[in-house]
Amino acid sequence: MAEATDLIWTAISVLGSSSPFRVQAAAELLLAVIHQHGAKLETVANMGRGIHLRLCSVRIPQAKDNALSAITLLARNHTPELVAAFLDFSMPLDSCAFRLWRALGAEQPVSCLVLAMLLAWLQERPLPTRASNSNPSPKEKNYLRSLAAMNTLLELQFAREFKKAVREAYPQLLLALLTQVHYTLELNLVTEPQRGQQAQEAAMPSPQR
């Protein structure tokens, strides 16, 4: 399996090549290896992130389609990892990320699972906290993923691949989105006074001056 993983990472790297021939060959290799070994792969979340980084630079339609098909194959056995990974680059949701989400839900059973997982992430509503370094804390990361889930759901409800899944889950989806909007508004009401208080404290003269 280590050999298959190495081949996949090599293919992902070459997707960013300036040579159309190499890009096409890399996309075909990526699809072939994942088709054969996809169910047993590890570090799939990182692979999904790697494909996203390269996808926008791929100009050959067939190569791009192969890369997206590879995501569809990975989704059969690794949906939770890919959903969490994709949320990290879906705020805002650019065209490349949107195509990856559509590929993720290209097969009907998976599209229902993706929608259910997005609804579950939508309900992760911890208050954002300020991290002590440049990396977000776990609570902050969950908060950002919750916002990204709302943003993604708003877009995917119109995607052809998710049409049936959205129709079946529409009452739950509508309630979840309304609840999230209400939560976001309440969060702003909580954080704005805190910011105002911090600004006042910063403006107060020090008793030692």
Summarize pLDDT for 148-190 with one digit per residue, the tens: 998 899 899 899 999 999 998 888 877 777 776 776 677 665 5
> Which residue would you say has higher pLDDT here, 142 or 47?
47
List the single range of 2-6, 7-11, 178-182 with lowest mean pLDDT: 178-182
Rg (CA), the chain: 21
Q: What average pLDDT score do residues 5-10 get?
A: 96
Q: Which of the two residues, 188 and 89, has the higher pLDDT score?
A: 89
**Token digits for 199?**
């600004």
Model confidence pLDDT, tens digit, residues 36-88: 999 999 999 999 999 999 999 999 999 999 999 999 999 999 999 999 999 99
Among the listed residues 21, 5, 17, the one whose alpha carbon sits nearest the alpha carbon of residue 74 = 5
pLDDT at residue 55, rounded to an integer = 93
Give the alpha-carbon dihedral of 43, 1, 56, 142, to 10 degrees.
Answer: -10
Is residue 115 scored above 50 in pLDDT? yes
**How buried is residue 182: exposed, middle or buried, by Cβ count under 10 Å (0-12/13-18/19+)?**
exposed
CA distances from 168 to 73, 104, 157, 173, 174 (A): 24, 18, 11, 9, 12
Alpha-carbon distance of 30 to 25, in angstroms, equals 9
The domain ranges of the chain are 2-193
Per-residue confidence (pLDDT) for residue 79, from 0 to 100: 97
Of residues 9 and 132, more confidently modeled:
9
Distance CA 38, CA 127 (A): 37
Give yes or no for residue 200 having a pLDDT over 70: no
Summarize the confidence of residues 184-207 as an average pLDDT: 53
Give me the chain's average pLDDT, please.
85
pLDDT of residue 209: 43
pLDDT score, position 169: 87
Confidence of residue 103 (pLDDT cuts 50, 70, 90): very high
pTM score, whole prediction: 0.81
Q: Are 145 and 84 in contact (CB under 8 A)?
A: yes
- Looking at residue 15, what is its pLDDT? 96
